[in-house]
Copies of this chain bind each other. A is one copy, B any other.
Amino acid sequence: MQKQPLDYSKEPTRPAHQLIVRKDKPFNAEPQLQDLVKHYITPDQYHFIRSHGPVPMHLDADTHFITIITHDNHSHRISVNDLINKFEKHHVMMAMQCAGNRRDGLHRVKHTKGVIWGAAAVGNAVYSGCRLKDVLETVGIHSRISNVQHLHVAFMSEEQCEEDTCYGSSIPLCKALNEFGDVLLAYEMNHKPLTRDHGYPLRVVVPGYIGARSVKYLKSITIQPYESSSYFQQRDYKLLPGKISNEKEAEAYWSKVPSIGEYNVQSYVCDPPNGEASQAKEMVVQGYALSGGGRSIQRVDVSSDNGETWTLADLYQPCVNDSAHAWGWCLWTAKVTSHPGVRIVSRAVDAAGNVQQEYPVWNYRGVLNNAWRTVEAPSQL
C-alpha cells in the first residue's frame, strides 16, 4: 500500500524558540547548552522538541476525545473536557529526556542511526493533568485484575510518521497503576496549555522513562498482554549489542532485545559549553544530572584533569512535595581549575550507586549514551 506523502505545510511558526534545529522535517531541535542550565524549570523556548512526523493540525481540546480499549475488549470514549473537569488535577515536575540525548558522542565513535542530538535533548518541566491510574480505574482497570503484572498500556498518537501509520508506544501496566508512579494524561506544561509542539491537546507523561514513552497527541489507550507493536516500541529505542552495526544485522536482534523504559544515570557539563576554557584559571562550571526510575542524584564529581582528581559539585535538586520519587533533574555547579585543551567532565552517581562509565559503549541506534568522557571522531569517519 502506497502511503500518502506526509504534509508539513501546517507546522507551527515557532517564532520564539531559541533552538538549534537538528532536523527540519520532522522538526527536531534542542537549545544551546548554556541556555539549558539557566533555569531549573525549563521555559518553553529552551525545551527540546522531538517530532516523528508533521505536527497534527486538526486537533482541538474542545472536541478531542480518546478511546480506551480494555483487556476484555470493551471500548470507552473520554473527551479531553471530561479529563479536565471530572478528574482530580495533579502536577508532576519531571525531566523529559530523549533516549538519543548525546547521540553525537556515540556517532563520533562509529556511525549511528537517528537524529544527531547534542547533550540538550533534555528538559525539566511541570506537567499538569489527571493521573492515568485514576482514568483507568473508571473503566475497571486496577491492580487486582488477574494477570495485571503481565499487561501493558499501549498508546497511539494522532501523529503520522514515515516509519509506521502513526506514532505509538507502551509501558507496563504496573507503572501506570503504581500509586507512586505519577503517570499523567497531561494537558498543561509549565501551567499553560500544551503547545502544538509538545502534544496539544493531550499527551502522556511517564516520569523516569525515556521521552519516547510520553506519547504526544494522544488518540487511544489499549490494555493488552503484549507491548505496543508499533515500530517505535519494536524496532527502535533498543540498546543493540555492540557487534550490530547496520539494519541488516539488526533484523535478527529486534525481537530479542528488550525495549527501553527507564533511562540510566546521566550528567553533562553545559557551561562552558564545549567543556573547555581558553586559559588556565579557577572557574565555576555548571551542568545537569538526572537518573531514571525516580532515582535521585546523590553526587556529581567534576574533573578538569582527565579523571585524575575529582571535585564534589554543589547540587540543586529541590524536594517536590507531591512525589515520592525524584522525577526532576538536578542542576549543579563546581569550582575547578581549568587546563586549556583538557575537557572538564562530570560523573554523576545516582541513589542506587550507578555511576556513569568512562568510555562510550557504542550501539547502532545511539541511545542512552552516558559516558563521562567524550571522544573525538576517529580518522576513518
Please give the residue numbers on chain A whose beta carbons come within 8 Å of chain B beta carbons, in ascending order: 143, 148-150, 172, 174, 177-180, 239, 241-243, 257-258, 260-265, 292-293, 295-296, 298-299, 301, 310, 312, 321-325, 349, 351-359, 361, 367-368, 370
Contact = CB atoms under 8 A, between A and B. Distances in A.
Chain A at the B interface: SS class? loop
B353 A356 contact: no
A149 B355 CA distance: 26
6 contacts: A149-B180, A150-B324, A174-B324, A177-B179, A239-B299, A293-B295
B368 A262 contact: no
A178 B260 CA distance: 22
Count the copies.
Answer: 2
A355 B351 CA distance: 15
A143 B179 contact: yes
Contact of A262 (B295, B310, B323): B295
A308 to B, nearest CB: 12
B293 A293 contact: yes
Contact of A263 (B174, B262, B293, B353): B353
Which 5 pairs of residues, A with B, have the shortest CB-CB distance? A149-B324, A353-B368, A262-B352, A264-B353, A174-B324
A310 B351 CA distance: 29
Contacts of A299: 239, 241, 257
Contact of A258 (B264, B296, B310, B354): B296
A258 B319 CA distance: 13
Contacts of A357: 355-358
Contacts of A260: 351-353
Nearest to A208: B352
B355 A312 contact: no
A312 B353 contact: no
Given A239-B349, A359-B358, A298 B258 contact: yes
A265 B298 contact: no
A291 to B, nearest CB: 8
B359 A292 contact: no
Contacts of A293: 293, 295, 352
Nearest to A258: B298
A138 to B, nearest CB: 17
A295 B295 CA distance: 13
A149 B322 contact: yes
A180 B178 contact: yes
B310 A242 contact: yes
A261 B143 contact: no
Contacts of A180: 143, 149, 174, 177-178
Nearest to A312: B241
Contacts of A325: 174
B257 A298 contact: yes
A158 B370 CA distance: 43
A352 B263 contact: yes
